[in-house]
């Protein structure tokens, strides 16, 4: 019998767990849902132990093929003080020859190239091969709208965005408060801003945009992106927009001894009684803030698991390129005196990095103090866990506003943690708000709303659900090979 080659999609991810993990999850969907062959080209920083672990675990069992492309040496192309987005964009620019070489040699011949938002300069490679290209925004629709609209804001607005008196207007979407713009927009004179505009400006060259959200969560914003004239006004063109999420990391079957003991401890705790505290792959805080957080957890009188990193006064994303690589036993020395003995049995400290998906799935976890990275956010929501929003960098301030003010899925401290130190009383208050004294007696609207969204997410991904159907459209379009004519989206 004649053997048919499977349709082959190649997905390209920039360094960072928040980029690599969602790309692998999308690749798996193409394999499981559509029998495609999917290859993830993961450009890696080579300085993060956690990144290496994730890649290794993605290789077995091999649902999708993951190829590690070590980031080219960019030391001559960036300055020591260049920021994260600059580094990511330069790394992805320099990785283009390796991506091109893979695309031209791999078999079966790829039918589509899918890139993340820091890799849009690779879209022309798809054109050269005459195949379709897509951008996967591993975040939400409001963020996608801001990225797409930012070239227009660049023309419309004079001076720094953060100095504007009025929120920034994006047609059809909620306005963005000046101090909540994405990190690269905080300083327009920094190279990071120009790199951000360039990479965002590349999105319309693609045949479509996939977003890790779902219709029910962001119906109006998705509508604005599609019909509200946003794209046509900004770019004089339309591209299909597909909400394909929430695609999240599932618990790992192989757990470390640390995870094993965390899960055993969780087994002994009451249902939804433990707050999980973690700031993603890169989040760090000052020494003063770490002290307040420790006191806040203690004052809240809630059980906790805290993934803690040694404090730094430098930047809030200091661990981004080195996640999991620093000696963890350092952490305890920065905590208030007696903290560990006073909280013995009540809380556990995990240095640097934890198997988060395994922890969040446990029924004893009832709240998540999170930096609101979109991956962590979705992992929380799909497990029915309400958040305390603690945004630090990237698009996290927007995420926090979306979650707390628009969707009612999180509570947030009164001050922005990236600007001011959040005090211990305030921390205790927010933690107690997501995990009240007696949940059976209290009507907790944040928790109820999160449970509704958990169900809504399940529905979106189930067969005939909106995200399932959207990805099926993409798959069919790839099989047919005619992207921009996908009228349904
Ligand atoms: N993560 C993890 N353990 C940690 C911290 C993060 O497994 O200690 C995973 C988390 O589950 C998520 C990803 O790393 O899938 C982080 O992505 P996210 O978008 O939340 O934030 P980022 O790290 O990009 O800021």
Q: How far is the CA of 83 from the centre of ligand 1 (A)?
A: 20
Same domain, 271 and 418: yes
Q: Are residues 241 and 275 in the same domain?
A: no
Q: Which residue numbers in the chain have pLDDT < 50?
A: none
Instruction: Ligand 1, residue 281: give the atom nearest the CA.
Output: 23
The 3-class SS string of 101-141 reads HHHHHCCCCCCEEEECCCCHHHHHHHHHHCCEEEEEECCCH
Measure the CA–CA gap between 16 and 85, rounded to whole angstroms.
11
pTM of the predicted structure, to 2 decimals: 0.93
Is there a domain that residue 441 lies in? Answer: no
**Does 425 reside within a domain?**
yes
Given 8, 34, 116, 183, which residue is catalytic?
116
Give how far Cα 30 sits from Cα of 6, 64, 227, Å.
Answer: 11, 9, 27
Q: Decide if 218 contacts 142 (C-beta within 8 A).
A: yes
Structural domains of the chain, count: 2
447 domain residue, yes or no: no
Give the distance (Å) from ligand 1 centre to CA of residue 361: 14
Same domain, 26 and 165: yes
Same domain, 46 and 165: yes
Q: DSSP letters along 310-368, please?
A: ---SS-TTTTTTTTT-S-GGGGGGGSPTTHHHHTTTTEEEEES---HHHHHHSTTEEEE
For ligand 1, atom 5: residue with the closest CA: 280
DSSP per-residue string spanning 186-197: S-TTSHHHHHHH
CA of 266 to the centre of ligand 1 (A): 20
What sign for the dihedral angle of Cα 173, 177, 180, 185? Answer: positive
Q: Closest Cα to residue 340, out of 298, 387, 293, 398? A: 298
Mutate to test the pocket of ligand 1, among 247, 328, 375, 410 (most ligand atoms within 8 A of CB): 375
Interval between CA 258 and ligand 1 midpoint (Å): 17
CATH number of the domain encompassing residue 286: 3.40.50.2000
CA distance 95 to 116: 13
Q: Do the beta carbons of residue 17 and residue 50 sit within 8 Å?
A: yes
The Å distance, Cα 422 to ligand 1 centre, comes to 22
Predicted confidence at residue 426, as pLDDT, reads: 97
Cα 118 to Cα 14, 31, 150, 375, 430, distances in angstroms: 6, 24, 15, 17, 34
Q: Which pLDDT value is given to residue 322?
A: 62
Q: Are 329 and 420 in the same domain?
A: yes
> 319 and 184, same structural domain?
no
- 3 falls within a domain: no
Domain match, 176 and 158 both: yes
Q: What's the token pair of residue 137?
A: 């925004």
Same domain, 240 and 264: no
Domain annotation covers residue 448: no
State whether 107 and 176 are in the same domain.
yes
User: Could you confirm whether 19 is annotated as catalytic?
Assistant: yes
Answer positive or negative: Cα dihedral of 145, 318, 17, 108.
positive
Active site residue 260: no
Q: Which atom of ligand 1 lies nearest, measured to the CA of 379?
A: 11
Show the 3-state SS of 233-256. Answer: HHHCCCCCEEECCCCCCCCCCCCC
DSSP assigned state of 169:
P
C-beta of residue 208 within 8 angstroms of C-beta of residue 474: yes
Within 6 A (CB) of ligand 1 lie 16-18, 21, 249, 278, 280-282, 307, 353-357, 373-376, 379
Residue among 107, 140, 92, 100 nearest 37 (CA): 107
Contact 297, 264 (CB under 8 A): no
d(CA 281, CA 284): 9
* Ligand 1 atom closest to residue 370's alpha carbon, by position in its atom list: 20
CA 356 – ligand 1 centroid, Å:
7
Quote the ligand 1 centre to 268 CA distance (angstroms). Answer: 26
From 15, 259, 373, 379, the mutation candidate for ligand 1 (largest count of ligand atoms within 8 A of CB) is 373
Please check whether residues 405 and 470 belong to one and the same domain.
no
- My answer on whether omega of the bond before 450 falls inside 30° of 0, hence cis, is no
* pLDDT at 327 (0 to 100): 52
Strand partners, 44: 70
Residue nearest to ligand 1 atom 13, measured at CA: 18
Give the pLDDT of residue 433: 94
Place of tokens 């977003």: 211
Judgement on whether residues 201 and 295 belong to the same structural domain of the protein = no
Identify the domain containing residue 110 by its residue range. 8-247+458-480
Q: Give the ligand 1 atom nearest the CA of 356.
A: 7
Residues 243 and 262 in one domain: no
Residue of 118, 280, 357 with the most ligand 1 atoms within 8 Å of its CB, for mutation: 280
Task: Indicate whether 488 belongs to any domain.
Answer: no
Q: Could you identify the atom of ligand 1 that is nearest to the CA of residue 396?
A: 25
- Closest Cα to atom 6 of ligand 1: 280
pLDDT of residue 343: 94
Is 446 inside a domain boundary?
no
Atom of ligand 1 nearest to the CA of 279: 5
């Amino acid at each position: 019998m004649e053997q048919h080659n499977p349709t082959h999609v190649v997905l390209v991810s920039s360094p960072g767990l928040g980029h690599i993990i969602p790309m692998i999850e999308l690749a798996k969907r193409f394999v499981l849902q559509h029998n495609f062959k999917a290859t993830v080209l993961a450009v890696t920083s080579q300085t993060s132990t956690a990144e290496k672990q994730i890649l290794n675990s993605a290789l077995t069992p091999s649902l999708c093929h993951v190829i590690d492309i070590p980031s080219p040496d960019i030391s001559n192309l960036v300055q020591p003080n260049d920021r994260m987005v600059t580094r990511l964009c330069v790394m992805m620019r320099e990785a283009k020859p390796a991506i091109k070489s893979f695309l031209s040699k791999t078999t079966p011949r790829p039918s589509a190239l899918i890139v993340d938002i820091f890799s849009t300069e690779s879209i022309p490679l798809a054109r050269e091969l005459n195949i379709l290209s897509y951008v996967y925004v591993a975040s939400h629709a409001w963020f996608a709208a801001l990225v797409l609209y930012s070239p227009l804001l660049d023309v419309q607005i004079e001076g720094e965005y953060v100095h504007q008196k009025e929120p920034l207007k994006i047609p059809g979407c909620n306005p963005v408060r000046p101090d909540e713009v994405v990190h690269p927009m905080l300083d327009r004179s920094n190279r990071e801003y120009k790199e951000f505009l360039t990479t965002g400006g590349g999105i319309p060259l693609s045949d479509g945009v996939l977003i890790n959200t779902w219709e029910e969560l962001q119906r109006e914003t998705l509508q604005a992106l599609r019909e509200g004239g946003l794209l046509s006004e900004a770019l004089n063109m339309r591209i299909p927009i597909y909400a394909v999420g929430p695609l999240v990391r599932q618990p790992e079957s192989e757990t470390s001894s640390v995870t094993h003991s965390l899960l055993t401890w969780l087994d002994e705790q009451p249902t939804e009684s433990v707050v999980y505290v973690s700031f993603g792959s890169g989040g760090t805080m000052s020494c003063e803030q770490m002290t307040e957080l420790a006191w806040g957890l203690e004052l809240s009188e809630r059980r906790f698991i805290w993934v803690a990193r040694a404090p730094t006064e430098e930047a809030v994303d200091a661990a981004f390129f080195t996640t999991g690589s620093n000696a963890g036993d350092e952490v305890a020395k920065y905590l208030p005196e007696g903290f560990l003995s006073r909280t013995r049995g009540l809380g556990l400290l995990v240095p640097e990095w934890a198997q988060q998906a395994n922890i969040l799935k446990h029924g004893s976890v009832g709240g998540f103090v999170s930096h609101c990275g979109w991956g962590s956010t979705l992992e929380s929501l799909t497990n029915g866990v309400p958040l305390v929003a603690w945004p630090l960098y990237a698009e996290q301030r927007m995420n926090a506003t979306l979650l707390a003010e628009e969707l009612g899925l999180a509570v947030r401290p009164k001050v922005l943690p990236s600007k001011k130190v959040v005090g211990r009383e305030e921390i205790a208050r927010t933690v107690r708000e997501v995990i009240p004294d007696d949940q059976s007696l209290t009507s907790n609207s944040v928790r109820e709303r999160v449970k509704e969204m958990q169900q809504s997410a399940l529905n979106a991904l189930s067969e005939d659900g909106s995200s399932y159907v959207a990805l099926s459209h993409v798959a069919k379009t790839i099989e047919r090979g005619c992207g921009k004519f996908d009228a349904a989206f």
